[in-house]
Amino acid sequence: MIDVEDLIALVRNYNPRTNADLIRRAYAYGMAMHEGQMRKSGEPYFTHPVAVAAILTEQRLDDATIVTALLHDTIEDTKSTYTEVERQFGQEVAELVDGVTKLTNLQLSSTETQQAENFRKLFMAMSKDLRVILVKLADRLHNMRTIKSMNVEKQAQKARETMEIYAPLAGRMGMQWMREELEDLSFKVLNPDARNSIIRRFLTLQREAGDVVHKITADIRFELEKVELEATVYGRAKKPYSIWRKMQEKDLAFSRLSDIYGFRIICASVADCYRILGVIHQRWRSVPGRFKDYISQPKSNGYRSIHTTVSGRDGKRVEVQIRTREMHEVAEAGVAAHWAYREGVRAQNPFAIDPGKWIASMTERFDEGDHDEFLEHVKMEMYSDQVFCFTPKGDVVQLPRGATPLDYAYSIHTRIGNSCVSAKVDGIRVPLWTRLKNGQSVEIITAEGQRPQSSWIDIVTTGRAKAAIRKSLREEDKGRFIKLGQELARAAFDHVGKKASEKALRTAAKMLGLSDQEDLLARLGSAELTARRVVETLYPELARADLEVVDATRPVLGLSDDQAFRRAPCCQPVPGERIVGITYRGKGVVAHAIDCPALEEFEEQTDRWVDLAWHSGRHAAVHTVTMEMTIANDAGVLGRICTLIGEQRANISDLRFTDRKPDFYRLIVDVDLRDVEHLHMVMTALEAETDVAQVSRNRDKTRKP
């Protein structure tokens, strides 16, 4: 574990004016709070917060962030409190520690709806202070570096969460080095065989071709020295996961994969960047379509650099990135560059993006009402690379890679997108599904009266465009569906001799748990709800009148012509319940409910089992069900109970008292019913009666067929 003085030395390397006493106090407090706690690896737990703080010193972050790293688990995992942290270290640190604690408690890899809501909370926390997510990313990085001490299942869960959420988020924040390491550490857990295979191929390649990185780096330095251009040149082989992803995306074998080496040239000025580009292209042949100028068109996270791919030594393709030192700091630290210190003062890096503007661009126009659209937009923002297109006036529009003219139209204004009929790219009319490329000029042609088409959902790429199209389609469809729903409701109500009045529809909507009459009609028109169900909700008896009447002597399917049928007295199954038949010598087939305990004794006699099912249609009310009730001992109560059962069109075939007390009666009632829905109606009506204390279905397993 790094001791406190070594940690302070790391901070002093970039911030000589650091508050060493504050860091010492935080170090001592964190160590005391985590005293006795151990990590899965067996190390003292406090080694983790110290390691997180050390990772953040590599990004030259301010004292408050370093102290937050040392204390980031105290509120969650120890007896420490927000009030105590605020008292000892100030409000800024307390709020940062509290923010990290809240992020830690978010289960980002849960179900879609929960994930969308948790992403929303994530961005809310980030919008308050982006340093919260910087600490969380460093926390995740150290946990991934030490993940081997966890059990296998936990390793896989954390690796998936890192690959799906934290690595893309680090990349979206411009911290590419962290994204690559998080991806590779996750790759090592999720697919170790593939990773080891790529590493072995790399070693074979090095044995065959020698140290390619060293040779090409020397070639670049030689060319720059010839024209007296000062620059630092770095070279490296790309990470195993980066190579694996390219192999999967392009469906290529390792031997056919190009540009597996990357080189970075860091110089003093923007002018030198373009001069170096000229030198590289003069010496090596550029690969068409592989040039990106992020200096003149920076990424939204502040990233600036020139990217080009050339055919280098022995025809091997290599990617070259050219940038200034200030651009390099932003490329390494991303949004974190906003807080970076140099020589004790906040670095005034002209290329560092304002975190407030960055987070605003991330959360812009997210539809708070639709979880799917929110999640789709978030992931699009986090995962996408970008293309830069021009308006006819020369303004730049940033879009994700794969965007179409429709995405472009919606990025200008929703009204432009909704009324789009065609587009011109570089002056030539193109289909709306055309994929836009860097540097193209786009002109949108609109027409009054044009409305979005349902097919557009599959054409567009951006979350904003998809949300706008869905909203427009919903609004347009709703009006059409309401009109259709009115006709369907009118016809269905007429069929049973009733009117589809506003009051009737409002009542039906309320009974079905819908917001209002319009919602009910729209669902009718869109076939989400059937007119029969609406009628049945209000008039269950009338709705059943037109159903085919089932023969009461043969109400089930599955019997042979010579088999007699009757219901088991122990469980008394009724139509609508799942049943199974058991053959009895001289008694035919007896139908039991599928959950009847009496079936246990026939488990070994499968030859006696008969697969039965109730006929569909309107059953006669001849299926007796025994109910047990407790009612108040008061004048008129029994009469009201009998009337209530009769109102539900059920017949009482027998009634007997089992207990009489001064204040209540217990009785058994046999009621003749049609089916399980009829049973439910009767029991619901009885349960709603104030003088009925208890009602239940009486199933007696002692009663034998």
The one catalytic residue among 43, 58, 77, 84: 77
The one catalytic residue among 43, 58, 76, 518: 76
Percent helix, strand, coil in the chain, to 5, is 50, 15, 30
Element spanning 334, H or E: none
User: Angle CA(188)–CA(190)–CA(192) in degrees, nearest 5?
Assistant: 45
Please confirm, yes or no, whether 76 is among the known catalytic residues: yes
Distance CA 144, CA 158 (A): 8
Residues 6+ apart with CB under 8 A from 409: 416, 417, 420, 423, 444, 465
User: How long is the chain?
Assistant: 705
Region of residue 365 (left: phi > 0; alpha: psi -120 to 50; beta: else): left
Q: Are the C-beta atoms of 567 and 573 separated by less than 8 Å?
A: yes
Q: Are the C-beta atoms of 244 and 195 separated by less than 8 Å?
A: yes
The two three-digit tokens of residue 696, written as one number: 């239940």
Cα 366 from chain centre: 14
Distance CA 251, CA 254 (A): 10
The SS3 of residue 81 is coil
The two three-digit tokens of residue 146, written as one number: 């030490």
Tell which residue, 189, 190, 170, 188, has the closest CA to residue 55. Answer: 170
Contacts 24+ apart (CB under 8 A), 43-49: 43/1, 44/1, 45/73, 45/77, 46/1, 47/1, 48/73, 48/139, 48/142, 48/143, 48/146, 49/73
Question: How would you class 468 by CB atoms within 10 Å of its CB: exposed for 0-12, middle for 13-18, buried for 19 or more?
Answer: buried
Tell which residue, 107, 112, 165, has the closest CA to residue 370. Answer: 112
Q: Give strand pairing partners of 237.
A: 261
Element spanning 240, H or E: helix 240-250
Query: Tokens 């919008």 label which residue?
Result: 127
Please confirm, yes or no, whether 562 is among the known catalytic residues: no
Q: Report, as residue numbers or ranges, the catalytic residues.
A: 76-77
